[in-house]
Chains A and B, each alone.
Chain A
Amino acid sequence: MFEFLTALTQQSFLQTAVYAGLLSSLACGIMGTFVVLKRIGFLAGGIAHSVLAGMGAALFFGFSPLLGALIAALVAAILIGLIRLYWKTQEDTLIGAIWAVGMAIGILFISNTPGYTTDLMSYLFGNILMVSQQNLWIMALLDAALLITMLVFFRPLLAVAFDEEFASLRGLSVSFFYLLLLVLVSVTVVLLIQVVGLILVIALLTIPAAIAGQFVYTLGRMMMLATVFGAVFTVAGLGVSYQLDQPSGPVIIMVASMAYIFATITSRAIKRGQVHKAKREGHHESRG
């Protein structure tokens, strides 16, 4: 790891990459927790893949791919949210359609853009090393917007995430807050795509929160632990990919996945240990 650490102090593009990873992990921890608890991974996947439409259009028309991604993600979030709210029985098919159509539109735009198409690979699999300084500022801004929205709207967002029927009976607009939740997910997706690309983004969105959920049992702690895990996986993954000269996105996902497997085995072992301990103590009590 030494080469990575020394290179880190010298190469600014590596520093930018680390900052990008850290910035995205905040959104990842907060919204990843919601995605895992409310089981909307499929919806988040639909949003992620639709982003390609925006990035392709941005490439074709010549504006910032990050902006294109954001616009496409927001549009997809609203559409998918409306489908979930009003056409729930056809949800699977419709979201699957948006998923595929979004990608198809993106690929069409890209293939009709004169010039190199290497951009496609970095959109699909991420290239954290290509994050520009300007994008870093935009990412920080998006993080701040997410954080402020969370602080202001936390109670109704939690109520809608937890029990939609009851929230509606209390007079809260479930449609508004559900869509807001998906908009926040789409912002997070755009941030994480910079790190691992849109194909792998769901893994980075959900794995840190899924691991956190096995060890802590309050919402706040789950979000904080998920943020920490997100940061650790991206930076560690970046370091390992640098050492081994491999693409960073997939390596980050491998690090996250192995951690998930290890965590699952460990938490099961701990729980089994607790059950055994309780049984032994029960025996002693009944004997005495």
Chain B
Amino acid sequence: MNDIVISLDKVSFHYEHLSVLENINLEVQAGEFIGIVGPNAGGKSTLLKIILGQLIPDHGKVRVLGKSPSAARQQMGYVPQYPGFDRNFPITVEQVVLMGTLNRKAWIGRYSRKDKQRAAEALDRVQALPLAQRQINTLSGGQLQRILLARALACDPKILILDEPTSNIDLRLESDIFDLLKQLNKDITILVVSHDIAFISSYVHRVACLNRSLVCHHTDTIDGKMI
């Protein structure tokens, strides 16, 4: 029996007068690869924000690695759907990935050699080490996606959370990214939000269907009829 790394207990959330999440119960075990699917405005992004500690639920409890989400932030890696930055910013790939090593306690002065090593390792894990000195505005969509992944891995997280990792890249690259995630899953628990249930069900252990409330299915039990 593996440890529970993420647990949501009767979590509810609403924006103004609109109920977005109702009575969500979810337990993610260490080493799982779990997919979250659902329609737009079904609450997927809200759920992620609650797990990351960016939003506090109206009801219910959230626990990540046994702690509150904001306490567990340093051990979570997050890859957003859209990069939160201007692609024309004059900055290199290495500098972007190095930002993944920042934390509340260590930000004075310059990056240490250890930080640079961790950034290089993260880039290597996503097979993007040759891109280290490139300016980010010279990268393709797929390359940028890998850099965002490397940035999330730079802090050596126990949990990796990805929001629609393939919605902005070519279909043929989709399996590349998921093969990479499958590799990473050997050491890291992975949570992926995706719109493509048929595709991700071949990679993940479980699929959670979210439309204000959550229903989980093990992928061995999913067949064409259910989809």
For residue A281, CB closer than 8 A to chain B, the reply is: no
For residue A163, CB closer than 8 A to chain B, the reply is: yes
For residue B18, CB closer than 8 A to chain A, the reply is: no
Q: Is the CB of A155 within 8 A of B110?
A: yes
For residue B89, CB closer than 8 A to chain A, the reply is: yes
Report Cα–Cα, A170/B84, bound state, in Å.
14
A175, chain B: closest CB distance, angstroms: 13
Partner of A171, one of B73, B86, B91: B73
Report Cα–Cα, A169/B135, bound state, in Å.
24
For residue B151, CB closer than 8 A to chain A, the reply is: yes
Q: Is the CB of B90 within 8 A of A163?
A: no
| Given A159-B102, A165-B80, also A213-B111 (CB < 8 A) | no
Q: Is the CB of A159 within 8 A of B99?
A: yes
Chain B 75-94 interface mask (CB, 8 Å, partner A; 1/0): 01010100111100111100
For residue B25, CB closer than 8 A to chain A, the reply is: no
Nearest residue, chain A, Cβ from B90: A217
Report Cα–Cα, A222/B85, bound state, in Å.
18
Q: Is the CB of B89 within 8 A of A152?
A: no
Instruction: Classify the secondary structure of A's interface with B.
Output: helix
Report Cα–Cα, A166/B91, bound state, in Å.
16
A166 proximity list for chain B (CB < 8 A)? 78, 80, 84-85, 99, 151
Q: Is the CB of A170 within 8 A of B73?
A: yes
A181, chain B: closest CB distance, angstroms: 14
For residue A107, CB closer than 8 A to chain B, the reply is: no
Chain A 149-162 interface mask (CB, 8 Å, partner B; 1/0): 00111111011001
Question: From residue 72 to 130 of chain B, which have CB atoms closer than 8 A to chain A?
Answer: 73-74, 76, 78, 80, 83-86, 89-92, 95-96, 99-100, 102-104, 107-111
Chain A 197-221 interface mask (CB, 8 Å, partner B; 1/0): 0000000000000000100111100
A2, chain B: closest CB distance, angstroms: 40
B109 proximity list for chain A (CB < 8 A)? 151-152, 154-155
| Given A166-B151, A172-B102, also A153-B85 (CB < 8 A) | no
Report Cα–Cα, A155/B156, bound state, in Å.
19
For residue A37, CB closer than 8 A to chain B, the reply is: yes
B103 proximity list for chain A (CB < 8 A)? 170-172
Nearest residue, chain A, Cβ from B106: A155
| Given A170-B103, A217-B135, also A153-B108 (CB < 8 A) | yes
B219, chain A: closest CB distance, angstroms: 29
| Given A162-B85, A167-B102, A219-B90, also A155-B135 (CB < 8 A) | no
Q: Is the CB of B91 within 8 A of A162?
A: yes
Determine the interface band of chain A, counting residues with CB < 8 A from chain B. Answer: 20 to 34
Nearest residue, chain B, Cβ from A161: B89
Nearest residue, chain B, Cβ from A37: B89
Which residue of B78, B91, B151 has the most chain A CB atoms within 10 A of its CB atom?
A: B91
Q: Is the CB of B151 within 8 A of A171?
A: no
Q: Is the CB of A163 within 8 A of B107?
A: no
Nearest residue, chain B, Cβ from A156: B107
For residue B6, CB closer than 8 A to chain A, the reply is: no
For residue A143, CB closer than 8 A to chain B, the reply is: no
Question: From residue 152 to 194 of chain B, which have CB atoms closer than 8 A to chain A?
Answer: 155
B64 proximity list for chain A (CB < 8 A)? none
Nearest residue, chain A, Cβ from B107: A156
B76 proximity list for chain A (CB < 8 A)? 169
A151 proximity list for chain B (CB < 8 A)? 109
B37 proximity list for chain A (CB < 8 A)? none
B85 proximity list for chain A (CB < 8 A)? 162-163, 166
- Known A165-B84, A166-B151, A171-B74; 6 more pairs at CB < 8 Å: A152-B109, A159-B99, A163-B83, A172-B103, A172-B104, A218-B90
Question: Which A residues form the contact surface with B (CB < 8 A)?
Answer: 37, 151-156, 158-159, 162-172, 213, 216-219, 222
Top 4 nearest A-B pairs (CB, nearest first) are: A171-B104, A165-B84, A163-B85, A163-B84
